[in-house]
Amino acid sequence: MSTLRDLAEEHTHLRPADIDHLHRIAGDWQLLSDLSFADLLLWVPVDADGTFLCVAQVRPTTAPTAYQDDQVGRIVGGPEVAHLGVAYSQGRIWREGDPVWYGDVPARHEAIPVRLRTAEGEAGEVIAVVGRDTNLSTARTPSQLELNYLTTADDLAQMIADGTFPPPRHPGETTSAPRVGDGLVRLDAGGKVTYASPNAQSAYRRLGYASHLVGEDLAALHRRLAGDPLDGTEASNGILAALRGEAPPRREIDARGATMLTRALPLMPAGVPIGALVLVRDITEVRRRDRALITKDATIREIHHRVKNNLQTVAALLRLQARRVAMPEARVALEESVRRVASIALVHETLSMSSDEAVEFDGIVDRVASAATEVAATEVSVGMRRRGSFGVLPAEIATSLVMVLNELLLNAVEHGFPPADEADEGPVPAASGMVPVAAPEVDPSLRPEVVVSAHRFRKMLHVSVTDNGRGLPPDFDAERGSRLGLQIVRALITGELRGTIELRAGANGGTEAMLVVPLARNTADGRSQA
C-alpha cells in the first residue's frame, strides 16, 4: 500500500509544505473521527476535471464504519464526488444532500475543505478535502455525550477549514496522546467546564476530586489537585494558553499516587476563541511500570558494573601472578588469560552504561583491536582497520563474540607477522600442533594490516578477520588444532553462538577467518527471537 506522500507526489502537484500539512492532519484526525462518529477520508484533486484521489482514511472507534473496504488509492470522479468539488472550489463545508448507500449501509456525506495558512498567518488556498461519512444504520436519538461530541467535532471541522487545526507539534513530542474515549472535558471561553465525559470524571476522581466537574474553573482545579506546585502551575498555564488560542504541550498531573496526562486544544472556529477541549487519560499504571523498569534497569547496570570491577580484579591478580612466574611458558599463558578476562570486562563496562541488555559493538571491537596490536608479541607495526558495522548486539552474543575476535586478532598479529628473528628462521609454528613447515614469502611492499569486516544479512551476522601476513601452513587443520586459542574460538562459535567458522588462505595472501553468527535466539517454546 502506497503512503500518503507517495500517492500525493505521484498523482498531484502539491508542494512539500502542503503534503506535510496533510501528514499532520492524518496524525491528529482520529480525534475528529471519534467525535464525529464517522469515517474520515482525505481527498486530493488529481485533475481539473473534478477527479479526486483518496490518500488516507481513518475509522471511528466510537461508531461502526461506513466502509468495510479501505478507500486509500481510489480515484473517483463525476457525481459521486460532486460534494468534494463544491467544498474544494467554494472553500466551505458541504453538508447538503440526501443519504447515500454503500451496499446495504446508508451513509451521510459531508465535505470539509483543508487549508494551509500562509507564513503571515492568513488563510491560504484549499489544498485538499476531508470527507466525513457517517454510518446511519444505527441512527437513534443522541445522548448528552453524543451531542457534546458532535458539537466539538463541528468546531474542529471549521478549524480544519480555517487552517488552524491541527496545531503544530512541539519538539520531541510523540504522537501518543489521550483519546476521546479516555476522557473529554469541554471548557467555555472563561475556562469553566461545560461538559465532562464519564471517563474524564473518573480520572479526576482518582486524583482526589469527588465532585462534579461541570461549572468548575479547570485551571484553578489543576493547581489545587497537583501534589507538586510546579506541576500544578504548568498544567494550569496549559489550560489558560489553550483558552488564549495557543496549543500548549501535554502535561502530567500527579496527586495521591495517581498520574493523569492532559492535552489542551483551543477551540477557535472562524478564528473566534470560544473555549478549549481538554483530553485526559489516567496513566497511573503506566508510570508505575516505568518507575519499576527504571529501578530494574539501574539494578542491572549496577550488576554489570560490579561484574566489570570483579573481572578487572581477576585480571590484576593474574597479571601479578604472571610477574612472579619464572617459566616463560607459564607467564605467556597467564598473560593470555589476562587479555581474555579484560575483553569480557569491556562488554560489561559497556552494558553498565546502557539502558538495556544490548551494546553498540563497534566501539568494543575497536578497543579490542587496538589492544591486540599493543600487547601482541611481535616487533612489526601492524595496522588495524574495521569495515562495516556490527550494530547493536544483545549481551549474550556480545560477550562470546568479543572473546572470539580477541583470539582471532591476536593470532592474526602474532602468527601472521612474527618477530624478525623468528621470521628470519623461516619455519612457521603450525597452529594445529603439527610439524612446522617453511614460511611462505611475504611481499615486503605491503603494509602489515588486519581488517575486521562485518555486515548483516537475513538475521545473520557475517564477520571476517583478514590479514596480509605469511598465511597458514599448507597442512593446517583447524578442527584438530591443539592450541588453546583455537579451541576457545571453536567452542564459543559452535556452542554459545551456534554459528560457523572457516579458516582459509586469503585471496591475496595472508589468512582469512570467516564467521557466520545467527542474530535470532530460540525461546523456551521453540520460537525465534531477535
Per-residue pLDDT, 128: 97
Per-residue pLDDT, 523: 42
What contacts 177, CB < 8 A, 6 or more positions away? 250, 261, 263, 279, 281
Per-residue pLDDT, 440: 47
Per-residue pLDDT, 290: 81
Give the per-residue SS3 of 245-283.
Answer: CCCCCCEEEEECCEEEEEEEEEECHHHCCCEEEEEEEEC
Q: Which three cell numbers stand for residue 273?
A: 476563541
Number of neighbouring beta carbons within 10 Å of residue 450:
26
> What is the dihedral angle through the alpha carbons of 457, 461, 465, 466, rounded to the nearest 10 degrees?
-10
Are 428 and 473 a contacting pair, CB within 8 Å? yes
Q: Which three cell numbers stand for residue 37?
A: 462518529
Q: Which helix (H) or strand (E) holds 454?
A: strand 449-457
| CA distance to 136, 305, 309, 357, 360, per residue, from 348 (Å) | 62, 7, 9, 10, 12
Q: Using CA atoms, how far apart are residues 152 and 144, in angstroms rounded to an integer?
A: 12
Per-residue pLDDT, 375: 60
Per-residue pLDDT, 428: 42
Q: What is the pTM of this model?
A: 0.62
Q: Using CA atoms, how far apart are residues 502 and 517, in angstroms rounded to an integer?
A: 12
Sole residue written with cell 471519534? 34
Per-residue pLDDT, 436: 38
How many CA atoms within 13 Å lie on the side-chain side of 134?
19
Low-confidence ranges of the chain (pLDDT < 70): 1, 174-176, 351, 353-356, 374-380, 418-446, 474-484, 521-530
Are 72 and 170 a contacting pair, CB within 8 Å? no
Q: Which three cell numbers stand for residue 409?
A: 586478532
Q: Using the 8-state DSSP alphabet, how is residue 66 labeled?
A: S
Direct distance between the N- and C-terminal alpha carbons of the chain, in angstroms, rounded to an integer:
26
Please name which of 381, 430, 386 lies closest in space to residue 405, comparing C-alpha atoms.
Answer: 386
Please name which of 275, 338, 503 lies closest in space to residue 411, comparing C-alpha atoms.
Answer: 503
pLDDT, tens digit (0-9, with 9 covering 90-100), for 166-177:
988 887 776 567
| CA distance to 89, 317, 362, 515, 516, per residue, from 455 (Å) | 54, 37, 12, 11, 10
Backbone angles phi, psi at 89, to 5 degrees: -80, -35
What contacts 163, CB < 8 A, 6 or more positions away? 114, 115, 116, 117, 123, 124
Burial, 179: exposed, middle or buried (Cβ in 10 Å; 0-12, 13-18, 19+)? middle
Per-residue pLDDT, 94: 96
pLDDT, tens digit (0-9, with 9 covering 90-100), for 486-527:
787 888 888 888 999 988 887 777 888 999 999 875 444 444
Per-residue pLDDT, 175: 57
Per-residue pLDDT, 430: 37
Q: Using CA atoms, how far apart are residues 264 and 248, in angstroms rounded to an integer?
A: 7
Are 378 and 410 a contacting pair, CB within 8 Å? no
Give the per-residue SS3 of 332-386.
Answer: HHHHHHHHHHHHHHHHHHHHHCCCCCEEEHHHHHHHHHHHHHHHCCCCCCCEEEE
Percent of the chain past pLDDT 90, that is, above it, reads 47
Per-residue pLDDT, 355: 61
Are 484 and 462 a contacting pair, CB within 8 Å? no
Per-residue pLDDT, 425: 47
Q: Which three cell numbers stand for residue 380?
A: 612489526
Q: What is 401-433 written as a DSSP string?
A: HHHHHHHHHHHHHHHHS--HHHHHH-EEPPTTS
Q: How remote is the C-alpha of 528 from its chain's centroid?
A: 21
Q: Using CA atoms, how far apart are residues 56 and 42, in angstroms rounded to an integer?
A: 5
Per-residue pLDDT, 475: 66
Please name which of 151, 42, 38, 134 lies closest in space to residue 88, comparing C-alpha atoms.
Answer: 42
Q: How remote is the C-alpha of 160 from its chain's centroid?
A: 30
Backbone angles phi, psi at 183, to 5 degrees: 160, 130
Backbone angles phi, psi at 99, to 5 degrees: -60, 150
Q: Using the 8-state DSSP alphabet, how is residue 495 labeled?
A: I
